[in-house]
Structure 1
Amino acid sequence: MSLVLVADDEPAVREVLSQVVEDLGHDVIQARDGEEAWHLARARRPNLIVTDHMMPRLSGLDLCRRLRGDEVLGGVPIILLSAVLPHGAPEAYAFLHKPFEITEFEGLIRKALAQAPRPKPLEGASAMEVLGDWVAQGFARPLSTARADVERLRAGGPGDLATLDSLGAQVRTLETLTRDFQEAAHLAARVVTLEPVQVDLGARLRQVLDTVRAELPAVRWRAELPEKAVELRCDPARVQRMVSALLLEAGRRSGEVQVELEPAAVTVTLRVRTQGPTLTDEERHRLFEPFRPEGAGGGGLGLYIASELARLHGGGLSAESTNERGTTFSVVLPRG
């Protein structure tokens, strides 16, 4: 199984191409423009990149040139699609002129992946050392606080409820870090298997909201959920984990969070709106990267976990950020 990045600004085309790749037995990550494709490629290191040429912010041709100049991604094969370029580009591994036959596209996917080199390893420290450093940094602060609280408890005697509350919060932080790291490791290793059944997504969402409200009582939560059941075929435990991770991340970013659930004929869309600071394009592209230190557009694993679980269900998680409306996270899941 390989990881394929599909970049196209037309949602319908992007979905068709992605479905073809998935039908061939491979995982897919999607980008809506060339700039997003560049950031995703650097974060996820795909085995193959499929890109349209005419896209906003960074064209497919410019993306090819930028990738070819990168030390890590320079050997990744690129399939360039275009209706305006007559002969493609030398920077691309292969070129398809639009419109093209799906069978031709499938053949190129198989050929490109058969010849694709393995992604280069991280320079310097090994991947396990990087993960180990990240875990150590994540545990350092809450552990230090917990130790100090224990010392104060010993010195203060019984009745120090404030310190006990602080200690409990630090322990919960450690529990969350441990759970998130385990989940992220399983997702990164692609060993998570779904067990889909028919569920009422609205009811599941209400359960998660009750739990998150108790955990983040200072946040003002507003929910607009349909009164009727929203039927969805999914893995209930994984979907609840996805929703919980997303809501907790949103609540930590903003003092006010609005949750909306919009069912359609073949999809369900969950929107989570926050009133926090507007994100730059760089920050938005880094939101779903795992193991990114705090202050670098990330700091937690919640959004990565939510994004990967949405992808496993055949859907996706995206973020939009504007001065007028803050940041909106949208999860789209197929109902079938």
Structure 2
Amino acid sequence: MSVVLIAEDEEAMLEIFAQVVEDLGHRTLRASNGEEALLLARTEPPDLVVSDHMMPRRTGVELLRTLRADVRLKTVPFLLLSAARPLGLEEADVFLSKPVELETFEQAVENVLRSRPARESRQEAMPGGGRVERSSGTVREEMLNWVAHEIKTPLSSARLNAQLLLRKQGERGPADERHCAETILRQLDRMNTLVTSILDAARLSEGKLALRMVPGDFTAFLQELVQEWRELQPQVEFMLKAPASRLDLPFDAERVRYILNNLLSNAVKYGGEARRVEVSLSLSPGLAVVQVRDWGVGIAASELPNVFERFHRVEVAGGHGHGLGLYIAGALARLHGGSLSVQSTLGQGSTFSLRLPLSGSVRSL
């Protein structure tokens, strides 16, 4: 049995995280703020620390840095949770974005605890207590992080409880009750998507959204993404046309995943009866070009100049988006130094083209 310290200022989230960890067979220590968590860790060194970031008296990252500066605690694994993307998140052993999936959280806890005995000692980090001065963050950015925390934390709690309810019902549970729980999850996911989009749009408009550019095999990334969609939407045929060889380029995997997920989601939603989506990867001078094509309802010529504008909704049957997805996708493409464009004919389908530079060229908006 391992000892897991959980630091979370929201009582409902603290309770659900502790319940999940205890159901996995571990003992928990519970703290409602960063200072309390530090005191508990120094009193009984845990095998794992699970901490929210935005907490009173010491943030999650500040707690992490203080533990790393303590000779007795510097090798304790740290799992950081946040609705925002705080500076310093890469210093944690694992970072999970709220709202977090139940199975993802369970797997992360088990994986970290399983690997703990083989961990090597870390080098000292942030001596002198780990308190750091704030960088040039603005009040607006702090407000955005606060909004993300205050909205996504109850969302995360509600999702985890709904997932636990579904698990307890099992396959033998009443069908109407399972349907209600699944409906709740879908609506919570829609709320989370909307909140994330609003926050990203605000950060983009203020030039506050930074990319994490890492060189990688883009072909393998695209193959993995398309396979995820095949498993997610088995009733749709996803075709991938891509070179068999590696294609190395610098890109922010999370942000490019957002762009392509948006395009693939729209292709499925507006693909009509064809139930077919084609993804292709090709090269043009200095660029990698990803095209997502469907054979669905298409977009009227009068709508095409406006599809990437903020809050614009294309008037098509079955559409219920929030008007931010393509705006954010286009802005993220430009941040990469690339572009996003569309060709479409009403009644014949659409082709969206994402162009990314083969060499790093991050731009400001």
TM value normalised by structure 2: 0.45
> TM-score, normalised on structure 1?
0.49
